[in-house]
Amino acid sequence: MNAPDLPVAVRSALTGYRLSDAVCASAGRVFVTGTQALVRLPLMQRALDAERGLDTAGFVSGYRGSPLGAYDQQLWKYREQLDAARIRFLPAVNEELAATAVLGSQEVESDPDRKVQGVFGLWYGKGPGVDRAGDALKH
């Protein structure tokens, strides 16, 4: 039995589609998993900032043992694209250190030798780690 024909919109979106488009495409329709969407998020934020004339960088940190365990693998997979967009991924041994690192990335504005106007941060972890990382998250 043959599979039914795909709708025209889906067929046209798939023409010339590459797996890397899930994260790297800057226009058009993309098909992403939840984890790929999280990799795409800081890239999109950086692009939006650039469109608004803001010179920013990004910082992502989290605990590798979190339920988003494959997130770090995807960030490493797209490291070249992240580096080109000035987005740094630094995994941590626990949620507290990751949250503290992200908090530290927000202090760039007070550095007179800064190279960017600001840094957007993304932190991830698991539930109990949120409780333990409370101090860093509150400040």
Which of the residue ranges 8-12, 22-26, 65-69, 127-131 would you say has the lowest mean pLDDT? 127-131
- Are the C-beta atoms of residues 25 and 66 closer than 8 Å to each other? no
pLDDT in tens, 51-110: 999 999 999 999 887 777 689 999 999 999 999 999 999 999 888 889 889 999 999 888
Q: Where are the domains of the chain?
A: 34-138
Q: How confident is the model at residue 130 (pLDDT cuts 50, 70, 90)?
A: low
The tally of CA atoms less than 13 A away on the side-chain side of residue 34 is 4
Q: What is the pLDDT of residue 108?
A: 85
Average confidence score pLDDT of the chain = 84
The tally of CA atoms less than 13 A away on the side-chain side of residue 85 is 29
Here the tokens at position 124 are 């991830």
Q: Which residue has the higher pLDDT, 87 or 18?
A: 87
- Are the C-beta atoms of residues 47 and 120 closer than 8 Å to each other? no
Q: What is the pLDDT of residue 66?
A: 72
- Are the C-beta atoms of residues 22 and 36 closer than 8 Å to each other? yes
Here the tokens at position 29 are 């329709």
